[in-house]
Amino acid sequence: MSDVTWIDPGNADQLRAWDIAEGVFWAEEAELFEHALHRYDDALLRAAGIRDGDQVLDLGCGTGSTTRAAAWLAGTGTALGVDLSSPMLAIAERTAAAIGLPNAHFAHVDAQIHPFADDEFDVVLSRTGSMFFADPAAAFSNLARATKPGGRLVLLTWQPPPRNEWFSSFTTTLAAGRQLPVPPPDAPGPFSQSDPDEVSRILIDAGLAAPTFEAHAEPMYFGPDVRTAERFVLGVLGWLLADLDDDARHQTLGALRNDLAKHQTTDGIAYDSAAWLITSHLPR
Ligand SMILES: C[S@@+](CC[C@H](N)C(=O)[O-])C[C@H]1O[C@@H](n2cnc3c(N)ncnc32)[C@H](O)[C@@H]1O
**Does the C-beta of 11 come closer than 6 Å to ligand 1?**
yes
Share of the chain above pLDDT 70, in %: 98
Q: How many Å apart are CA 231 and CA 269, to the nearest integer?
A: 12
Do 224 and 265 form a contact (C-beta atoms < 8 A)? no
With H, G, I as helix, E, B as strand and everything else as coil, classify residue 218: strand
Count: domains in the chain = 1
Give the Å distance between the CA of 183 and the centre of ligand 1: 19
**Does the C-beta of 173 come closer than 6 Å to ligand 1?**
no
Do 270 and 263 form a contact (C-beta atoms < 8 A)? yes
Q: How many Å apart are CA 163 and CA 191, to the nearest integer?
A: 11
- Name the closest-CA residue to atom 19, ligand 1: 110
For residue 51, tell me if it sits in a domain. yes
**Does the C-beta of 136 come closer than 6 Å to ligand 1?**
no
pLDDT of 20 reads 84
Global confidence as pTM: 0.95
Closest CA to 91 of 66, 115, 60, 63: 63
pLDDT of 5 reads 63
- The residue range of the domain holding 124 is 9-165+182-222+273-281
For residue 248, tell me if it sits in a domain. no
For residue 216, tell me if it sits in a domain. yes
**Does the C-beta of 133 come closer than 6 Å to ligand 1?**
yes
For residue 266, tell me if it sits in a domain. no
Do 53 and 77 form a contact (C-beta atoms < 8 A)? yes
Q: What is the CA radius of gyration of the chain?
A: 19
Give the Å distance between the CA of 241 and the centre of ligand 1: 25
Q: How many Å apart are CA 39 and CA 154, to the nearest integer?
A: 16
Give me the tens of pLDDT residue by residue for the chain, a chain 284 residues long.
Answer: 334 568 999 999 899 888 888 888 989 999 999 999 999 999 999 999 999 999 999 999 999 999 999 999 999 999 999 999 999 999 999 999 999 999 999 999 999 999 999 999 999 999 999 999 999 999 999 999 999 999 999 999 999 999 999 999 999 999 999 888 777 878 999 999 999 999 999 999 999 999 999 999 999 999 999 999 999 999 989 989 988 999 999 999 999 999 999 999 999 999 999 999 999 999 99
pLDDT of 249 reads 95
For residue 170, tell me if it sits in a domain. no
Classify residue 192 as exposed, middle or buried by CB count within 10 Å of its CB (0-12, 13-18, 19+).
buried
**Does the C-beta of 106 come closer than 6 Å to ligand 1?**
no
**Does the C-beta of 18 come closer than 6 Å to ligand 1?**
yes
Q: Which amino acid is at 153?
A: L
Domain harbouring 213, CATH code:
3.40.50.150
Give the Å distance between the CA of 180 and the centre of ligand 1: 25
Closest CA to 60 of 9, 121, 131, 3: 131
Q: How many Å apart are CA 89 and CA 64, to the nearest integer?
A: 7
Give the Å distance between the CA of 14 and the centre of ligand 1: 9
- Name the closest-CA residue to atom 25, ligand 1: 84
For residue 265, tell me if it sits in a domain. no
For residue 15, tell me if it sits in a domain. yes
For residue 205, tell me if it sits in a domain. yes
pLDDT of 284 reads 95
Q: How many Å apart are CA 214 and CA 195, to the nearest integer?
A: 13
